Amino acid sequence: MSEETTAPLPHGTRDSGIPARFFADPDFDFEARMALGLATQGVGDIGGVLVTLASIEEGSAEGWFQAWKASAERLRAQAESSAASGHEESARWFFLAAAEACSRALAFVTGLADPGVLAPTFALHRRCWDAVVAHSEGCFLRVEVPYEEGTLPGYLLRPDASGTARPTLVMTNGSDGSLTSLWGTGASGALRRGFNTFVYDGPGQQSLLFERGIAFRPDWEAVLTPVVDVLVSRSDVDARGLLAYGISQGGYWLPRALAFEPRFIAAVVDPGVMDVSTSWTSHLPPELIALLHAGAREPFNEAMREVEADPVMARVMAFRSRPYGTGTPFDTFSQVLRYHLRDVVERIRTPMLVLDPEGEQFWPGQAEALFQALRCDKERVRFTREEGADFHCQPLGRALTDVRMFDFFADRLARVRTH
Protein backbone atom coordinates (compact mmCIF):
# COMPACT_ATOMS: atom_id res chain seq x y z
CA MET A 1 0.00 0.00 0.00
CA SER A 2 1.09 3.57 -0.51
CA GLU A 3 1.94 6.02 2.24
CA GLU A 4 -1.45 7.60 1.61
CA THR A 5 -3.07 4.52 3.15
CA THR A 6 -0.71 4.64 6.12
CA ALA A 7 1.10 1.40 5.37
CA PRO A 8 1.52 -1.10 6.86
CA LEU A 9 -1.68 -0.53 8.84
CA PRO A 10 -4.96 0.66 7.31
CA HIS A 11 -6.39 4.03 8.22
CA GLY A 12 -9.80 5.30 9.20
CA THR A 13 -12.24 3.55 11.50
CA ARG A 14 -15.94 3.06 11.72
CA ASP A 15 -18.01 2.95 14.87
CA SER A 16 -17.40 -0.80 15.04
CA GLY A 17 -13.67 -0.18 15.33
CA ILE A 18 -12.87 -2.03 12.10
CA PRO A 19 -10.72 -0.10 9.61
CA ALA A 20 -12.80 1.84 7.12
CA ARG A 21 -10.59 0.56 4.32
CA PHE A 22 -7.32 -1.17 3.59
CA PHE A 23 -7.11 0.43 0.14
CA ALA A 24 -8.94 3.37 -1.38
CA ASP A 25 -9.75 1.25 -4.45
CA PRO A 26 -12.88 -0.73 -3.44
CA ASP A 27 -11.85 -3.85 -5.37
CA PHE A 28 -8.40 -3.91 -3.79
CA ASP A 29 -9.99 -3.30 -0.40
CA PHE A 30 -12.43 -6.18 -0.80
CA GLU A 31 -9.71 -8.59 -1.89
CA ALA A 32 -7.65 -7.57 1.15
CA ARG A 33 -10.60 -8.35 3.41
CA MET A 34 -11.09 -11.71 1.76
CA ALA A 35 -7.45 -12.64 2.30
CA LEU A 36 -7.62 -11.66 5.97
CA GLY A 37 -10.88 -13.53 6.51
CA LEU A 38 -9.45 -16.72 5.03
CA ALA A 39 -6.38 -16.39 7.25
CA THR A 40 -8.60 -16.51 10.34
CA GLN A 41 -9.75 -19.92 9.07
CA GLY A 42 -6.28 -21.36 8.67
CA VAL A 43 -5.45 -20.32 5.10
CA GLY A 44 -2.13 -18.65 5.80
CA ASP A 45 -1.49 -16.24 8.67
CA ILE A 46 -2.94 -12.80 9.36
CA GLY A 47 0.56 -11.40 9.83
CA GLY A 48 1.70 -12.75 6.49
CA VAL A 49 -1.35 -11.27 4.77
CA LEU A 50 -0.77 -7.85 6.35
CA VAL A 51 2.90 -7.83 5.36
CA THR A 52 1.97 -8.70 1.78
CA LEU A 53 -0.72 -6.02 1.64
CA ALA A 54 1.67 -3.43 3.07
CA SER A 55 4.03 -3.89 0.13
CA ILE A 56 1.40 -3.08 -2.51
CA GLU A 57 1.12 0.38 -3.98
CA GLU A 58 -2.42 1.73 -4.04
CA GLY A 59 -4.24 0.65 -7.20
CA SER A 60 -1.27 -1.14 -8.76
CA ALA A 61 -2.36 -4.39 -10.41
CA GLU A 62 1.29 -5.19 -11.14
CA GLY A 63 2.27 -4.54 -7.53
CA TRP A 64 -0.59 -6.72 -6.31
CA PHE A 65 0.47 -9.60 -8.52
CA GLN A 66 4.15 -9.37 -7.68
CA ALA A 67 3.53 -9.17 -3.92
CA TRP A 68 1.24 -12.18 -3.78
CA LYS A 69 3.34 -14.21 -6.22
CA ALA A 70 6.42 -13.61 -4.07
CA SER A 71 4.48 -14.77 -1.01
CA ALA A 72 3.37 -17.85 -2.90
CA GLU A 73 6.90 -18.77 -3.90
CA ARG A 74 8.18 -18.31 -0.37
CA LEU A 75 5.40 -20.44 1.09
CA ARG A 76 5.84 -23.13 -1.56
CA ALA A 77 9.54 -23.40 -0.75
CA GLN A 78 8.72 -23.83 2.93
CA ALA A 79 6.08 -26.44 2.04
CA GLU A 80 8.56 -28.46 0.04
CA SER A 81 11.09 -28.29 2.85
CA SER A 82 8.49 -29.56 5.33
CA ALA A 83 7.47 -32.34 2.98
CA ALA A 84 11.09 -33.41 2.48
CA SER A 85 11.48 -33.61 6.26
CA GLY A 86 8.37 -35.76 6.62
CA HIS A 87 6.32 -33.09 8.40
CA GLU A 88 3.03 -33.78 6.67
CA GLU A 89 0.80 -31.41 8.63
CA SER A 90 3.23 -28.53 8.20
CA ALA A 91 3.55 -29.30 4.49
CA ARG A 92 -0.24 -29.22 4.12
CA TRP A 93 -0.48 -25.85 5.85
CA PHE A 94 2.26 -24.27 3.76
CA PHE A 95 0.94 -25.71 0.48
CA LEU A 96 -2.56 -24.45 1.29
CA ALA A 97 -1.24 -20.96 2.03
CA ALA A 98 0.85 -21.01 -1.15
CA ALA A 99 -2.12 -22.11 -3.25
CA GLU A 100 -4.22 -19.27 -1.84
CA ALA A 101 -1.46 -16.71 -2.44
CA CYS A 102 -1.28 -17.80 -6.10
CA SER A 103 -5.02 -17.44 -6.43
CA ARG A 104 -5.00 -14.04 -4.75
CA ALA A 105 -2.21 -12.91 -7.11
CA LEU A 106 -4.56 -13.33 -10.06
CA ALA A 107 -7.30 -11.06 -8.70
CA PHE A 108 -6.38 -8.22 -11.07
CA VAL A 109 -4.72 -10.16 -13.86
CA THR A 110 -6.66 -8.31 -16.57
CA GLY A 111 -4.96 -5.11 -15.42
CA LEU A 112 -1.45 -6.46 -15.96
CA ALA A 113 0.82 -5.53 -18.84
CA ASP A 114 1.31 -9.27 -19.43
CA PRO A 115 -1.93 -11.16 -18.73
CA GLY A 116 -0.08 -14.26 -19.94
CA VAL A 117 1.03 -14.83 -16.34
CA LEU A 118 -2.42 -16.27 -15.63
CA ALA A 119 -1.78 -19.77 -16.99
CA PRO A 120 1.52 -20.52 -15.17
CA THR A 121 0.33 -18.90 -11.93
CA PHE A 122 -2.93 -20.84 -11.96
CA ALA A 123 -0.98 -24.02 -12.72
CA LEU A 124 1.18 -23.37 -9.66
CA HIS A 125 -1.95 -22.72 -7.59
CA ARG A 126 -3.40 -26.08 -8.61
CA ARG A 127 -0.11 -27.94 -8.05
CA CYS A 128 0.01 -26.57 -4.52
CA TRP A 129 -3.63 -27.52 -3.94
CA ASP A 130 -2.98 -31.03 -5.24
CA ALA A 131 -0.01 -31.20 -2.86
CA VAL A 132 -2.38 -30.44 0.04
CA VAL A 133 -4.37 -33.49 -1.02
CA ALA A 134 -1.24 -35.60 -1.50
CA HIS A 135 0.04 -34.78 2.00
CA SER A 136 -3.31 -35.36 3.75
CA GLU A 137 -2.33 -38.86 4.88
CA GLY A 138 -5.26 -40.37 3.03
CA CYS A 139 -7.91 -37.99 4.39
CA PHE A 140 -8.44 -36.06 1.15
CA LEU A 141 -9.26 -37.74 -2.15
CA ARG A 142 -9.60 -36.60 -5.73
CA VAL A 143 -12.99 -37.68 -7.05
CA GLU A 144 -13.81 -37.15 -10.73
CA VAL A 145 -17.45 -36.37 -11.55
CA PRO A 146 -18.80 -37.58 -14.92
CA TYR A 147 -20.07 -34.54 -16.83
CA GLU A 148 -21.28 -34.53 -20.42
CA GLU A 149 -18.40 -35.92 -22.52
CA GLY A 150 -15.78 -35.54 -19.78
CA THR A 151 -15.44 -35.00 -16.04
CA LEU A 152 -15.44 -32.27 -13.43
CA PRO A 153 -12.50 -32.19 -10.99
CA GLY A 154 -13.76 -32.79 -7.46
CA TYR A 155 -12.19 -33.36 -4.07
CA LEU A 156 -13.67 -35.20 -1.10
CA LEU A 157 -12.14 -33.79 2.07
CA ARG A 158 -12.64 -36.10 5.07
CA PRO A 159 -11.81 -35.58 8.78
CA ASP A 160 -9.86 -38.85 8.77
CA ALA A 161 -9.03 -41.78 6.53
CA SER A 162 -11.27 -44.32 8.30
CA GLY A 163 -13.88 -44.39 5.53
CA THR A 164 -16.71 -43.81 8.01
CA ALA A 165 -19.93 -42.66 6.38
CA ARG A 166 -20.41 -39.02 7.36
CA PRO A 167 -22.70 -36.09 6.60
CA THR A 168 -21.17 -34.32 3.62
CA LEU A 169 -21.19 -30.61 2.78
CA VAL A 170 -21.17 -29.94 -0.97
CA MET A 171 -19.78 -26.49 -1.69
CA THR A 172 -20.63 -24.58 -4.87
CA ASN A 173 -18.27 -21.73 -5.63
CA GLY A 174 -18.96 -18.32 -7.12
CA SER A 175 -17.86 -16.80 -10.39
CA ASP A 176 -14.14 -16.47 -9.61
CA GLY A 177 -13.50 -18.17 -6.27
CA SER A 178 -10.73 -20.73 -5.82
CA LEU A 179 -10.77 -24.09 -4.07
CA THR A 180 -8.61 -22.58 -1.33
CA SER A 181 -11.23 -19.90 -0.75
CA LEU A 182 -13.77 -22.67 -0.12
CA TRP A 183 -11.45 -24.07 2.54
CA GLY A 184 -11.78 -20.83 4.49
CA THR A 185 -15.48 -20.29 3.86
CA GLY A 186 -16.86 -23.56 5.19
CA ALA A 187 -14.67 -26.58 4.42
CA SER A 188 -12.41 -26.24 7.45
CA GLY A 189 -15.42 -25.65 9.69
CA ALA A 190 -17.11 -28.77 8.36
CA LEU A 191 -14.01 -30.90 8.94
CA ARG A 192 -13.68 -29.63 12.53
CA ARG A 193 -17.27 -30.70 13.14
CA GLY A 194 -16.74 -34.20 11.77
CA PHE A 195 -18.35 -33.65 8.36
CA ASN A 196 -16.94 -34.47 4.96
CA THR A 197 -16.68 -31.64 2.45
CA PHE A 198 -16.89 -31.93 -1.31
CA VAL A 199 -15.48 -29.13 -3.47
CA TYR A 200 -15.36 -29.00 -7.25
CA ASP A 201 -14.90 -26.80 -10.31
CA GLY A 202 -18.03 -26.34 -12.40
CA PRO A 203 -18.45 -24.79 -15.86
CA GLY A 204 -16.78 -21.39 -16.08
CA GLN A 205 -14.96 -21.89 -12.79
CA GLN A 206 -11.20 -22.08 -12.32
CA SER A 207 -9.71 -25.08 -14.13
CA LEU A 208 -12.69 -25.55 -16.43
CA LEU A 209 -12.36 -21.95 -17.59
CA PHE A 210 -8.60 -21.43 -17.49
CA GLU A 211 -7.51 -24.82 -18.82
CA ARG A 212 -10.49 -26.07 -20.85
CA GLY A 213 -12.31 -22.92 -21.91
CA ILE A 214 -15.70 -24.16 -20.68
CA ALA A 215 -18.12 -21.32 -19.94
CA PHE A 216 -20.80 -20.79 -17.29
CA ARG A 217 -24.26 -22.24 -17.65
CA PRO A 218 -27.43 -21.08 -15.87
CA ASP A 219 -29.02 -24.55 -15.43
CA TRP A 220 -26.79 -25.72 -12.57
CA GLU A 221 -28.90 -28.82 -11.95
CA ALA A 222 -26.97 -30.28 -14.89
CA VAL A 223 -23.84 -29.82 -12.77
CA LEU A 224 -24.95 -30.57 -9.22
CA THR A 225 -27.00 -33.70 -9.93
CA PRO A 226 -23.96 -35.59 -11.32
CA VAL A 227 -22.05 -34.52 -8.18
CA VAL A 228 -24.78 -35.99 -5.98
CA ASP A 229 -24.93 -39.17 -8.05
CA VAL A 230 -21.24 -39.78 -7.40
CA LEU A 231 -21.43 -38.98 -3.69
CA VAL A 232 -24.43 -41.14 -2.81
CA SER A 233 -22.67 -44.14 -4.38
CA ARG A 234 -19.76 -43.86 -1.92
CA SER A 235 -19.55 -45.80 1.34
CA ASP A 236 -17.82 -42.88 3.11
CA VAL A 237 -20.76 -40.53 2.44
CA ASP A 238 -23.99 -40.61 4.43
CA ALA A 239 -26.54 -40.31 1.63
CA ARG A 240 -29.17 -39.15 4.17
CA GLY A 241 -26.93 -36.35 5.37
CA LEU A 242 -26.16 -34.28 2.27
CA LEU A 243 -25.78 -30.55 2.95
CA ALA A 244 -25.27 -27.77 0.42
CA TYR A 245 -23.59 -24.36 0.46
CA GLY A 246 -23.35 -21.79 -2.32
CA ILE A 247 -21.16 -18.70 -2.02
CA SER A 248 -21.31 -15.47 -4.04
CA GLN A 249 -22.79 -16.31 -7.46
CA GLY A 250 -23.22 -19.80 -6.04
CA GLY A 251 -26.08 -18.13 -4.18
CA TYR A 252 -27.91 -18.28 -7.52
CA TRP A 253 -26.54 -21.56 -8.88
CA LEU A 254 -27.36 -23.61 -5.79
CA PRO A 255 -31.05 -22.59 -5.50
CA ARG A 256 -31.41 -23.09 -9.24
CA ALA A 257 -30.12 -26.66 -8.90
CA LEU A 258 -32.24 -27.34 -5.81
CA ALA A 259 -35.37 -26.62 -7.81
CA PHE A 260 -34.63 -29.92 -9.59
CA GLU A 261 -32.31 -31.82 -7.17
CA PRO A 262 -34.15 -32.95 -3.98
CA ARG A 263 -31.53 -35.06 -2.20
CA PHE A 264 -30.07 -32.40 0.11
CA ILE A 265 -31.55 -32.10 3.59
CA ALA A 266 -30.53 -28.45 4.04
CA ALA A 267 -28.83 -25.64 2.13
CA VAL A 268 -27.20 -22.28 2.84
CA VAL A 269 -26.79 -19.48 0.29
CA ASP A 270 -24.20 -16.78 0.99
CA PRO A 271 -25.76 -14.42 -0.02
CA GLY A 272 -29.07 -15.26 -1.66
CA VAL A 273 -29.23 -14.19 -5.31
CA MET A 274 -32.59 -14.08 -7.06
CA ASP A 275 -31.34 -12.41 -10.24
CA VAL A 276 -27.66 -12.34 -11.17
CA SER A 277 -28.19 -9.68 -13.82
CA THR A 278 -28.89 -6.91 -11.29
CA SER A 279 -25.16 -6.64 -10.56
CA TRP A 280 -24.67 -5.86 -14.26
CA THR A 281 -27.70 -3.77 -15.19
CA SER A 282 -27.76 -1.58 -12.07
CA HIS A 283 -24.78 0.34 -13.50
CA LEU A 284 -26.40 1.00 -16.87
CA PRO A 285 -28.37 4.14 -17.71
CA PRO A 286 -32.04 3.60 -18.67
CA GLU A 287 -31.26 4.25 -22.34
CA LEU A 288 -28.82 1.34 -22.48
CA ILE A 289 -31.20 -0.98 -20.66
CA ALA A 290 -33.88 -0.10 -23.21
CA LEU A 291 -31.49 -0.95 -26.05
CA LEU A 292 -30.64 -4.27 -24.39
CA HIS A 293 -34.26 -5.32 -23.94
CA ALA A 294 -35.10 -4.15 -27.46
CA GLY A 295 -32.42 -6.45 -28.89
CA ALA A 296 -30.55 -3.50 -30.43
CA ARG A 297 -27.19 -5.24 -30.70
CA GLU A 298 -25.11 -2.71 -32.62
CA PRO A 299 -26.34 0.46 -30.86
CA PHE A 300 -25.77 -1.27 -27.51
CA ASN A 301 -22.26 -2.39 -28.45
CA GLU A 302 -21.42 1.07 -29.80
CA ALA A 303 -22.52 2.70 -26.55
CA MET A 304 -20.51 0.17 -24.54
CA ARG A 305 -17.38 0.94 -26.57
CA GLU A 306 -17.59 4.45 -25.21
CA VAL A 307 -17.92 3.10 -21.66
CA GLU A 308 -14.96 0.78 -22.13
CA ALA A 309 -12.75 3.67 -23.20
CA ASP A 310 -12.11 3.93 -19.46
CA PRO A 311 -9.25 1.43 -18.88
CA VAL A 312 -10.53 0.49 -15.44
CA MET A 313 -13.99 -0.26 -16.81
CA ALA A 314 -12.47 -2.17 -19.71
CA ARG A 315 -10.51 -4.29 -17.21
CA VAL A 316 -13.59 -5.03 -15.16
CA MET A 317 -15.68 -5.92 -18.22
CA ALA A 318 -13.00 -8.22 -19.61
CA PHE A 319 -12.70 -10.03 -16.30
CA ARG A 320 -16.42 -10.39 -15.70
CA SER A 321 -17.33 -11.33 -19.28
CA ARG A 322 -14.77 -14.06 -19.85
CA PRO A 323 -16.57 -16.88 -17.96
CA TYR A 324 -19.74 -16.35 -20.01
CA GLY A 325 -17.90 -17.21 -23.22
CA THR A 326 -19.44 -14.35 -25.17
CA GLY A 327 -17.97 -12.13 -27.86
CA THR A 328 -19.57 -8.71 -27.42
CA PRO A 329 -21.07 -6.67 -24.56
CA PHE A 330 -24.55 -7.22 -25.99
CA ASP A 331 -24.01 -10.98 -26.01
CA THR A 332 -22.70 -10.92 -22.45
CA PHE A 333 -25.54 -8.86 -21.04
CA SER A 334 -28.11 -10.92 -22.95
CA GLN A 335 -26.61 -14.09 -21.52
CA VAL A 336 -26.59 -12.74 -17.97
CA LEU A 337 -30.30 -11.91 -18.21
CA ARG A 338 -30.96 -15.67 -18.25
CA TYR A 339 -29.50 -16.11 -14.76
CA HIS A 340 -32.57 -15.67 -12.57
CA LEU A 341 -34.80 -17.87 -10.40
CA ARG A 342 -38.20 -16.32 -11.08
CA ASP A 343 -39.54 -19.28 -13.05
CA VAL A 344 -38.22 -22.03 -10.73
CA VAL A 345 -38.00 -20.65 -7.18
CA GLU A 346 -41.38 -22.04 -6.10
CA ARG A 347 -40.20 -25.57 -6.94
CA ILE A 348 -37.51 -25.51 -4.22
CA ARG A 349 -38.36 -27.76 -1.26
CA THR A 350 -34.97 -28.04 0.45
CA PRO A 351 -34.88 -26.17 3.81
CA MET A 352 -32.77 -23.09 3.20
CA LEU A 353 -30.85 -20.52 5.23
CA VAL A 354 -30.39 -17.24 3.35
CA LEU A 355 -27.46 -15.09 4.47
CA ASP A 356 -27.90 -11.34 4.08
CA PRO A 357 -24.94 -9.08 4.93
CA GLU A 358 -25.24 -5.37 5.56
CA GLY A 359 -23.51 -3.34 2.86
CA GLU A 360 -23.82 -6.05 0.20
CA GLN A 361 -22.12 -4.32 -2.71
CA PHE A 362 -22.79 -6.70 -5.61
CA TRP A 363 -26.38 -7.87 -5.11
CA PRO A 364 -28.04 -5.46 -2.66
CA GLY A 365 -31.58 -6.53 -1.85
CA GLN A 366 -31.25 -9.88 -3.61
CA ALA A 367 -31.12 -11.97 -0.42
CA GLU A 368 -34.39 -10.47 0.73
CA ALA A 369 -35.93 -10.98 -2.72
CA LEU A 370 -34.98 -14.66 -2.70
CA PHE A 371 -36.16 -15.16 0.87
CA GLN A 372 -39.57 -13.68 0.12
CA ALA A 373 -39.99 -15.78 -3.03
CA LEU A 374 -39.09 -19.12 -1.43
CA ARG A 375 -41.97 -21.45 -0.51
CA CYS A 376 -39.85 -24.00 1.32
CA ASP A 377 -38.93 -24.15 5.02
CA LYS A 378 -36.66 -21.12 5.24
CA GLU A 379 -34.70 -18.84 7.54
CA ARG A 380 -32.82 -15.60 6.93
CA VAL A 381 -29.96 -14.23 9.01
CA ARG A 382 -28.49 -10.74 8.79
CA PHE A 383 -24.80 -9.96 9.24
CA THR A 384 -24.07 -6.45 10.42
CA ARG A 385 -21.40 -3.80 10.61
CA GLU A 386 -21.60 -3.85 14.41
CA GLU A 387 -20.55 -7.52 14.31
CA GLY A 388 -17.69 -6.73 11.94
CA ALA A 389 -19.42 -8.99 9.43
CA ASP A 390 -20.66 -6.64 6.71
CA PHE A 391 -20.02 -6.60 2.95
CA HIS A 392 -20.39 -9.33 0.34
CA CYS A 393 -19.93 -12.79 1.90
CA GLN A 394 -18.94 -11.00 5.17
CA PRO A 395 -15.19 -11.50 4.57
CA LEU A 396 -14.13 -10.46 8.09
CA GLY A 397 -16.90 -12.47 9.73
CA ARG A 398 -16.17 -15.98 8.53
CA ALA A 399 -16.02 -17.60 11.98
CA LEU A 400 -19.41 -16.07 12.80
CA THR A 401 -20.71 -17.32 9.46
CA ASP A 402 -19.54 -20.83 10.32
CA VAL A 403 -21.30 -20.74 13.68
CA ARG A 404 -24.63 -19.74 12.18
CA MET A 405 -24.35 -22.01 9.18
CA PHE A 406 -23.38 -25.15 11.07
CA ASP A 407 -25.97 -24.57 13.79
CA PHE A 408 -28.57 -24.54 11.02
CA PHE A 409 -27.14 -27.73 9.54
CA ALA A 410 -26.98 -29.45 12.94
CA ASP A 411 -30.63 -28.64 13.61
CA ARG A 412 -31.68 -30.06 10.23
CA LEU A 413 -29.59 -33.20 10.67
CA ALA A 414 -31.17 -33.74 14.09
CA ARG A 415 -34.66 -33.52 12.57
CA VAL A 416 -33.82 -36.09 9.91
CA ARG A 417 -32.38 -38.50 12.45
CA THR A 418 -35.46 -38.37 14.65
CA HIS A 419 -37.76 -39.39 11.81
Note the pLDDT of residue 68: 98
Cα 331 from Cα 324, distance rounded (Å) = 9
Strands 150-157 and 196-200: antiparallel
Note the pLDDT of residue 8: 36
Confidence of residue 418 (pLDDT cuts 50, 70, 90): confident
Which tens digit of pLDDT belongs to each residue from 378-392? 999 999 999 999 999
Residue 289 lies in domain: 278-336
Q: Are residues 353 and 409 in the same domain?
A: yes
Q: Is the pLDDT of residue 83 over 90?
A: yes
Q: Are residues 57 and 196 in the same domain?
A: no
Q: Are residues 206 and 292 in the same domain?
A: no
Q: Which of 286, 305, 336 is the last residue of a domain?
A: 336
Note the pLDDT of residue 284: 92
Q: Are residues 300 and 416 in the same domain?
A: no
Q: Are residues 324 and 377 in the same domain?
A: no
Q: Domain with 66 in it: what CATH number?
A: 1.20.1440.110
Cα 393 from Cα 383, distance rounded (Å) = 9
Q: Is the pLDDT of residue 26 over 60?
A: yes
Note the pLDDT of residue 314: 79
| Mean predicted confidence (pLDDT) in 323-346 | 96
Confidence of residue 10 (pLDDT cuts 50, 70, 90): very low
Q: Is the pLDDT of residue 311 over 80?
A: no
Confidence of residue 244 (pLDDT cuts 50, 70, 90): very high
Q: Which of 292, 317, 336 is the last residue of a domain?
A: 336
- To the nearest 10 degrees (0 to 180), the angle between helices 329-336 and 297-307 is 110
Q: Are residues 222 and 370 in the same domain?
A: yes
| Mean predicted confidence (pLDDT) in 162-189 | 97
Q: Are residues 381 and 239 in the same domain?
A: yes
Note the pLDDT of residue 331: 97
Q: Are residues 63 and 114 in the same domain?
A: yes
Q: How many residues does the chain have?
A: 419
Q: Domain with 195 in it: what CATH number?
A: 3.40.50.1820
Average pLDDT, the chain: 93
Cα 273 from Cα 370, distance rounded (Å) = 6
Q: Which of 316, 336, 356 is the last residue of a domain?
A: 336
Q: Are residues 42 and 93 in the same domain?
A: yes
Domains in the chain: how many in total? 3
